[in-house]
Structure 1
Amino acid sequence: MPERAVRASHDNDGVPRWIRRYGTAAWLFIGIVIVVAMVVFATSRIQVVFISVFLAAVVTSVLYPIVSLLARHMPRALAMIVTLLATFGAVAGILTYVITSVAGQWADLADQFGNGIDTILDFVENGPLPIHFTQAEILDWIDDLVAQGQEYVTANAGDLVGQVLSNAGTVALVFTILALSLFVTVFFLLRGEDMWRWFLNQLPARSREKVDVAAGAGWYTFSGYARGTMIVALADAVLAFILLSVLRVPLSAPLSVLVFIGAFIPLIGAPLAMIIAAVVALAANGILTAVIVTIGIAAIGQIEGHLLQPLVMGRQVSLHPVVVALGVTAGTFLAGLLGAVVAIPLLAVIWAVYSTLHEPDPPITGRLPRTAGRE
């Protein structure tokens, strides 16, 4: 090799440039992994604070446009109070309606559920299946299960008491999270822009514009996801309520609220709500109604995925389904149900910030370079 080529391919210390380049990239990747791991670890240690701030951000993204609209005609503090009171009133009204409907239909549902169990037992005993079980045998199995449960409770009474006390502590923790998130929401709605301006002023002047643009893109994506999910969940609940009411399925209102909650849990929330609604329909009105409920709620899911989400969210949250599945799975393993809920908005925000700060090279058009010269 000519001496000039040797000099061109090595730096002053004799290390080839390709080793230096890929080595630098490897160290950067390791640094990113360490930073992400530290963030996850720190978040797990202050999970209460993270959940409170996340809930406050969700509520703020939904209510901020309403507060800003009312603030044009009244002081912002009054607009914030009116919006929060109206929200609390709506939530309280929905809960009251759900509780009264459950109380009014629970006795009838229990009777229908018992009739459904008798029908299933009769089918198992006298139906066309090749294997038959008598009702006495099934009752004996149930008695055995009850006896085993009693033995387990007796043997593990101390642990169960500890779990009950732990659950009591969990209830107090939930109230703490709600109170803290409400406190943070009030300041986000009232002084959010001033708080963000103060934060920018703490940064070097040369970095403020870039940070403001990146954070704006992230907030635009997060608020679009939160508002869009809220609208989609509400539409799913209304459609489910209409379907269940037409079919005269008991507890239509509570089941619709369950569908509403399930819309916030990607991938698994809607199927779980569908299964529970189908079981109630089976117990109340028979297998035909259960099949119709299953097909109807599945159709609502298709309407959500192919019409409502593209129409409501647009391109604010443009993640590939593979990324959604992997993100939800990873979030579930890291933080359980909480991880499954927050994985998608966090991934969407990260991608929005990256897309804003990243300056991509010209895209590849036509045939890939590695296959262009193989014919």
Structure 2
Amino acid sequence: MDSRREPQDLVPRPLRVAAALSWRFLVLVAALYVVGTVTGYLAGIVVPVAIALLLAALLVPGVDDLAGRGVPRGLAAALVLIGGLVILGGVLTFVVVTFVNGVPGLVTQLSHSVETASDWLTNGPLHLSDTQIRDASAKFVATLTENQSDITSGALTTAATVGEILTQMLLVLFTLIFFLYDGARIWQFLIRAVPTRVRTRVDVAGRRGLAALVSYVRATAAVAVVDAVGIGIGLAALGVPLAIPLAALVFLGAFIPIIGAVVAGSIAILIALVANGVVAGLVVAGIVIAVMQLESHVLQPLLLGRAVKLHPLAVVLAIAGGLLTGGIAGALLSVPLLAVLNSGIRSLLSEADEHVDPADVHASEPEESAPDEPGLDVEKGPMG
């Protein structure tokens, strides 16, 4: 027996395994860091393209339906896009006009609330004097005056970004047109970079991911409509100012799961509290909580259950990571990205998808063939 031993044999096996995992983990972290850095540097392009992809996921079923009825795809894409823009423009115009008309009433009610609060501070348990209240108001005004330059520079910065926003909106529109009209050929061009032996599997996985994205966007839009209508009716019934703009804010906020609806609902509660008093604020809080419970325990499992089965913890962590790395845009795009990755990876690992013809996977149908596996997806939960 040879007494000589190789150097690697002198290292305990657990240490060798730990070292192998460690350097692979470091390489993965470095790769993710490089990808994140490049993505952040190109955020002005990446974010509009990602938003265009979300909008395409919402509109492409309509284009496919018209194309299936014999309408040329270019004309179908134009009709769906123009119809969507008309609806969006009409809704935004209605919301803006309602907001402008409702501001005077809100100011009047706010003045009344300030007078009521001042009366409570003077005659209530605090027994503050008029002099103390005036001094506090004077300090507040002085603070605003001292920071006027910062406020002005911030306004100028905001005005400077208007051009960037308009440019990105045009990029979203331009990209969306080609996604609707030529999305299939764009995808076929992209997967040419994949090795031939696994190209079919990647094609199927990508189509599964797109199917999950389509189902996610459509189901989220339906949930957002229910949230906005429920809270909007409650606000209108209580006579809260700006009920329709607040309902529109709830609709937009619902596209950021969990956090968005909570923030939008909190704004509605605050306005009701300031404009209509404590009782109205509590009633609105009850309405918001009831709608959130309906969303969490009925709408999310019913509508999103088949589309995307993500654990609530995964959703919250994805949103938190998106907020830290990309702000509001990151929070908006994090959950759809997680849904696409979850569906695509499950398809790659699924033996049932190994012999599936990519032509049989359609973007408008939900994912069905990938098996349920432990990890991010669960059968039941507050989010479905």
- Which TM-score tier does this pair reach, normalised by the shorter chain? 0.7 to 0.9
Partner of 1:42: 38
Partner of 2:267: 276
Could you tell me how far 1:13 is from its partner in structure 2? 5.6
Q: 1:219 to 1:290 in 2, by over 3 A?
A: same
Could you tell me how far 1:21 is from its partner in structure 2? 4.0
In the alignment, structure 1 residue 102 sits paired with structure 2 residue 99 = yes
- Give CA deviations for 1:282-327 in whole Å, capped at 9, x if unaligned: 3333221211111101111111111111111114322222222222
Partner of 1:92: 89
Whether contact under 8 Å (2:202, 2:348) holds in the other structure is: no
Correspondent of 2:144 among 131, 141, 149: 149
Correspondent of 1:82 among 79, 84, 106: 79
Give the SS at the match of 2:234. helix
- Distance, in Å, in 1 between the alignment partners of 2:143 and 2:239 is 38
Could you tell me how far 1:359 is from its partner in structure 2? 6.4
Correspondent of 1:53 among 46, 49, 53: 49
Could you tell me how far 1:50 is from its partner in structure 2? 0.9
- Give CA deviations for 1:113-162 in whole Å, capped at 9, x if unaligned: 111111122122222x3x33234422221112212321333xxx4x6665
Partner of 2:382: none
Q: 1:118 to 1:163 in 2, by over 3 A?
A: closer
| Partner amino acid, structure 2, of 1:126 | N
- Distance, in Å, in 2 between the alignment partners of 1:160 and 1:301 is 36
Partner of 2:239: 248
Q: For 1:64-75, what aligned pairs fall within 5 Å after superposition?
A: 64-71=60-67, 72-75=69-72
Partner of 1:288: 279
Correspondent of 1:30 among 11, 26, 32: 26
Question: Looking at CA atoms only, which structure, 1 or 2, has the larger radius of gyration?
Answer: 1
In the alignment, structure 1 residue 167 sits paired with structure 2 residue 153 = no
- Distance, in Å, in 1 between the alignment partners of 2:335 and 2:242 is 31
Number of equivalences: 352
Partner of 2:364: none
Partner of 2:367: none
Question: Which has the larger displacement, 90-99 or 276-285?
Answer: 276-285
- Distance, in Å, in 2 between the alignment partners of 1:34 and 1:197 is 29
Which sections of structure 1, spanning at least 5 residues, go unmatched? 365-375
Partner of 2:128: 133
- Distance, in Å, in 1 between the alignment partners of 2:152 and 2:242 is 33
Give the alignment's Cα RMSD to 1 decimal.
Answer: 2.6
Of structures 1 and 2, the one scoring higher in RCO (CA 8 A, sep 6+) is 2
- Distance, in Å, in 2 between the alignment partners of 1:145 and 1:112 is 21
Could you tell me how far 1:29 is from its partner in structure 2? 2.0
Correspondent of 2:217 among 223, 226, 234: 226
Which sections of structure 2, spanning at least 5 residues, go unmatched? 352-372, 375-384
| Partner amino acid, structure 2, of 1:178 | M
Q: TM-score, normalised by structure 1?
A: 0.86
Q: 1:139 to 1:317 in 2, by over 3 A?
A: farther
Could you tell me how far 1:98 is from its partner in structure 2? 1.3
- Distance, in Å, in 1 between the alignment partners of 2:66 and 2:131 is 67
- Distance, in Å, in 2 between the alignment partners of 1:135 and 1:268 is 41
In the alignment, structure 1 residue 205 sits paired with structure 2 residue 182 = no
Identity of aligned residues (%): 35
- Give CA deviations for 1:154-174 in whole Å, capped at 9, x if unaligned: xxx4x6665444322311111
Partner of 2:320: 329
Whether contact under 8 Å (2:319, 2:331) holds in the other structure is: yes
- Distance, in Å, in 2 between the alignment partners of 1:202 and 1:335 is 28
Whether contact under 8 Å (1:116, 1:282) holds in the other structure is: no
| Partner amino acid, structure 2, of 1:116 | S
Whether contact under 8 Å (2:268, 2:284) holds in the other structure is: yes
| Partner amino acid, structure 1, of 2:330 | G
- Give CA deviations for 1:15-56 in whole Å, capped at 9, x if unaligned: 665554443333322222222111111110000111111111
Q: TM-score, normalised by structure 2?
A: 0.84
| Partner amino acid, structure 2, of 1:54 | A
| Partner amino acid, structure 2, of 1:113 | L
